[in-house]
A and B are shown apart, each in its own frame.
Chain A
C-alpha cells in the first residue's frame, strides 16, 4: 500500500482530492478555498504601512495562514516519508530543450540546476525567483485570486469572472512558457 502511495499519483486521484478541498473548507467553517489571499494577510500582519488595502482585520482570516502552514508541513511529509526514488518523467521535447541549456537532472520535481542558492545572485536567479515571484504576487492580487481561488473555487461555483481570470492565467502562461522562458533559460 505504502509503495503505491509513494508512486506519482494519477491526475484523477489528485484532482478529486484537490476538488474536495472546496467542500471540506466550507463544511469545516464556511471558508472559501483560496491561497493567494495569504500573501495579503502577511502584508497586513507584518508591514501594512499606511496602505488602505492592508488595513483590515487580518486576524479574522488567520484560518488561511494555518492552512498555508499545513501545506508546508504536507510538502515536508510527502517529500520525506512518501518519497519516490524514481526519476521524474519529463516530456521528451521539454527534456531535450532543457538539456540544451544544461538542465538534465531529473531526480527532483523542481530542477535543482535552476532552483538553488548559488543561482540566487545571478541574472537567472534574479529572474526566476525574484521577478517570477513578484509577478505571481502582484498578478494574483490584481486578479483577485489564483489557481485555487479562481480556477478551482470560483469555477466550482460557476463564476463568470473566475472563468475570465482562469483564461487570462492560461494565456499568460502560454506566452511565458513558449516565448519568454526559453529565452530566460539561456541567460
Chain B
C-alpha cells in the first residue's frame, strides 16, 4: 500500500500495527478483524471450506434457503426461522461464554479474541435497507451462496448485484450518515 493512500486515508493501517490498531477502524468495516499473525499456506484454508460445506448443507436441509420460509417468517405464519435463529444464538452464546471462561485457544494455540462493536447509524439505516432486500430475495448472503449451489443459477445475478451494492456503498461511504 502506497504512503499517499495511507496519508489520505488514516483509517487504513498496514500490518504489523494492523493487528493492534483501533478495533473500531477494522470492525466497522469487518475487515482484518480476523487477520492472523501467522502466515499460512493457502491450502490451510481448506478447513474453512469444509466448515462451509457443512453450513451450506444445513442451510438447505433446514430450508433456511427457502424463499417461502423467509416470507412466512416476516408474515408471522411460521415459527421455523425464529426457532433456527433463536437456537443458533443460544448455542453460539453458550459457546462464546465457554471459550472466554475456559480461555480456549485455537487448534494452533493462538488466543481467541473478542472485540466490542460500536454503535453507529448504519446499523439502523443499513439494517433497514438489508431487511427490505432480504424479504424480496428471500435470502441473506449465506443462503444466496447455498441457493446458487442447489442449482438455482439465476441467483448468480442476485449475488452479482449484491456485490455491486457493496461496491456502491464503498463508493458513497463518506457521504452517508455514520
A-to-B contact residues, CB < 8 Å: 5, 8-44, 47, 49, 51-58, 60-64, 66-80, 82, 88, 90-91, 93-94, 106, 108-111, 114-117, 119-120, 127-162, 164-178, 180-181, 184
Contact = CB atoms under 8 A, between A and B. Distances in A.
A118 B85 CA distance: 33
A114 B166 CA distance: 24
Report the interface size class on chain B: 35 or more
Contacts of B69: 109
B125 to A, nearest CB: 6
Contacts of A116: 154
Q: Which of B74, B90, B113 has the most CB of A within 10 A?
A: B74
Contacts of A33: 92
B163 A143 contact: no
B85 to A, nearest CB: 6
Of all A-B residue pairs in the complex, the 5 with the closest CB atoms, nearest first, are: A172-B131, A70-B52, A74-B56, A75-B149, A15-B87
B35 A61 contact: yes
Interface of B: 1, 5, 8-9, 11-12, 14-15, 18, 27-36, 42, 45-75, 77-81, 83-93, 95-96, 98-99, 104, 106-108, 110-114, 116-120, 122-142, 144-155, 157-171, 173, 176
Contacts of B128: 139, 168-169, 171-172, 175
Contacts of B147: 75, 110
Given A40-B31, A63-B45, A133-B133, A144 B155 contact: no
6 contacts: A66-B45, A71-B142, A91-B75, A147-B140, A161-B123, A172-B128
